[in-house]
Amino acid sequence: MTNLLEVKNIETYYDLVYALRGVSFSVKTGSITAILGNNGAGKSTILKTIMGLIEDQPDKGSIEFEDAPIQHWDTDKIVRKGIAYVPEGREVFEELTVHEHLIMGAYIREDPSGVKKDIEQVYRYFPVLKQRTNQWAGTLSGGEQQMLAIGRALMLSPRLLILDEPSLGLSPILVKEIFSIIKEINLKGTTILLVEQNANMALSISSTGLILENGRFVMKGESKDLLEDKDVKEFYLGIKSETSAKGYQRWKRKKAWR
């Protein structure tokens, strides 16, 4: 598979403090790539940097989409290039209906018949949204709002869908449902870049996993291999062993790649 997205040695800072330090990775066309890590590791910063949401960042490095450099582009230009972004926290508009959100999501498109077809596809992914089509988004449950945020992004007909913490605040049952649909979306041809704290769920649907610590990647590999790695099991999947805190620090130093 070819690389749809290439991030090369980017550095991003807030108020003179670096949040990302030499981050490099690629996303292959047709894949699901998962970035994992604890709060404050810099996961969301990677996505915001890709989407041009942090002014004048990255400070160093390059970002290429379909072999074209997009670093320092305006966000609307990046969206028009074919990248859709679902931010952490959903950010739906409370006084717009479900249908109005989906129409708004297709604002750059000029194919009414295709838009109508894609609305029906969103409703097939998320049948509950069809039942709520004329309901204000502010009255939806958290899970329904997450479904709506994903559906709105899909209305752009993106080649790359970026998801930031889609499981945040959801019940285990809803998390399983959302991730099942994310996998289905990918199987229908949409490449996905996923940031997630639920490492077990993210690795179970992705092909590649990357683990971020303090603005640097400390481990990467095929997701199926990471799921079986004893250190990943303990430190990210919560499967305890006798490894000590000192052992964890040694593991980070051993795995860190600059």
The CATH number assigned to the domain holding 191 equals 3.40.50.300
- The rounded percent of the chain whose pLDDT value lies above 70 is 92
pLDDT at position 242 over 70: no
Residues 108 and 228 in one domain: no
Residues 204 and 192 in one domain: yes
Structural domain count, the chain: 2
30-58 pLDDT, tens digit per residue, is: 999 999 988 889 999 999 999 999 999 99
Domain boundary among 113, 132, 157: 157
**The predicted structure's pLDDT at residue 102:** 97
Residues 41 and 73 in one domain: yes
**The predicted structure's pLDDT at residue 233:** 82
**Closest to 181 measured CA to CA, from 209, 149, 159:** 149
pLDDT at position 239 over 80: no
pTM greater than 0.85 = yes
Residues 181 and 248 in one domain: yes
Q: Across the chain, what does the average pLDDT equal?
A: 91
Residues 29 and 140 in one domain: no
pLDDT at position 257 over 80: no
The parent domain of residue 101 ranges over 90-157
pLDDT band at residue 258 under the 50/70/90 scheme: very low
Residues 98 and 178 in one domain: no
Residues 66 and 109 in one domain: no
**The predicted structure's pLDDT at residue 1:** 74
**The predicted structure's pLDDT at residue 187:** 97
Residues 75 and 98 in one domain: no
Residues 205 and 105 in one domain: no
**The predicted structure's pLDDT at residue 244:** 46
Domain boundary among 104, 124, 157: 157
181-202 pLDDT, tens digit per residue, is: 999 999 999 999 999 988 999 9
Residues 48 and 95 in one domain: no
**The predicted structure's pLDDT at residue 115:** 97
**The predicted structure's pLDDT at residue 163:** 97
pLDDT at position 15 over 90: no
What average pLDDT does this structure show over 94-99?
95
**The predicted structure's pLDDT at residue 169:** 87
Domain boundary among 109, 130, 157: 157
Residues 168 and 237 in one domain: yes
Residues 171 and 246 in one domain: yes
